[in-house]
Amino acid sequence: LGEPPRDRSRWLRCDAGDLRQVGAALERSGAEGVVHLAARSSVAASHAEPLETYRANVAGTLAVLEAAREARFEGPLLLVGSGEVYGRCGSGPSREDAPLAPLSAYAGTKAAQEMIGGQYARTYGLRVVLTRSFAHTGPRQDGRFVFPSLARQLARIERTGGDGVLRVGNLQPVRDYLDVRDVVRAYALLLERGTAGAVLNVCSGRGFRLSDLVYELVEIAAVRVTIEEDPARLRGVDLERLVGDPARLTSLGWLPGITHHQMLSDLYRYWRERTWQES
């Protein structure tokens, strides 16, 4: 794919579940490839609003695929899924041939997305590539998610110049975290080299207990805090361990390049600057 000139980059607003709007956006964009990221992406919110989550995520996927089919789109279509589809995992990293056992409405929609995308690839010949993307973070991630929420709290504590309370959810789960910039590099590679119908984990293969990453973030912020569990931040169902096997992706030449320390440092710097601008 060619690098788009900066002066040609633009936003086209549309309802991702509306076939006409998606089709018009696809036609107007002149896109060579599609990365489908539009979704209700909060696991916690999906427990409270399962119907809305299924409507948005499944209908949105169908609209993108149908628009591509009707336009006879020949470029790659990357459907971004989630490692959450594996459900409760064993002690080792989950491979793509592991059974799917989603435990949230969000994960259920991503499993459905895979089935639909695979069917469109087989039946209509669309170049659909499917990811199971594991947890990732970085600057500009929405403040509702775990590490942006914590970084924002810490930045506000630093701004007030005193000690504070850091309110957290369950810090015992083990997660496979990547920096969002490494994830973007993976998506760009899959647009170029992904095989139609293929499913690939986007992950590091390394699990970290959330508490360890939180303590590292506190050290980066260099503020004194008391860490308290907030019942409002607890999920109804939480996976104890979610770690993936990246072998399929690394076989294409991808490797993560950003350390967890840099990931957390850059995230905190972003929220620190934003907090000072807002004050």
Domain ranges of the chain: 13-136+176-202, 141-173+206-242+258-278
| Cβ atoms of residues 267 and 138 within 8 Å | yes
Tokens of 204: 């590091």
The one-character DSSP state at 7 is G
The model's confidence at residue 6, banded by pLDDT at 50, 70 and 90, is: low
CATH number listed for the domain at residues 141-173+206-242+258-278: 3.90.25.10
Determine the pLDDT at residue 7: 62
Q: Region 16-42: what's the mean pLDDT?
A: 93
- Mean pLDDT, the chain, whole residue set: 93
Q: Which residues of 75-94 are buried (b: 16+ CB within 10 A; e: fewer)?
A: ebbbbbbbbbbbbebeeebb
User: Per-residue pLDDT tens for 220-231?
Assistant: 999 999 999 999
Residue 134 backbone dihedrals phi, psi, to 5 degrees: -90, 180
The one-character DSSP state at 94 is B
Query: Right CATH number for 13-136+176-202 from 3.50.50.60, 3.40.640.10, 3.40.50.720, 3.40.50.1110?
Result: 3.40.50.720
User: Per-residue pLDDT tens for 98-129?
Assistant: 999 999 999 999 999 999 999 999 999 999 99
Angle between helices 50-70 and 19-29 (to 10 degrees): 50
The Cα 275–Cα 152 span in angstroms is: 7
Determine the pLDDT at residue 222: 94
Helix (H/G/I), strand (E/B), else coil: 234: coil
Q: Region 123-137: what's the mean pLDDT?
A: 97
| Cβ atoms of residues 239 and 89 within 8 Å | yes
Tokens of 78: 């990357």
Whole-number Cα distances in Å, 122 to 59, 72, 198, 250, 259: 19, 15, 11, 25, 38
| Cβ atoms of residues 247 and 128 within 8 Å | no
Q: Region 262-270: what's the mean pLDDT?
A: 98
Reply yes or no on whether the pLDDT at 204 is more than 90.
yes
Nearest CA to 113 among 159, 59, 43, 156?
A: 59
Reply yes or no on whether the pLDDT at 2 is more than 70.
no
Rg of the chain taking only CA atoms, in angstroms: 19
The Cα 270–Cα 35 span in angstroms is: 25
The one-character DSSP state at 144 is T
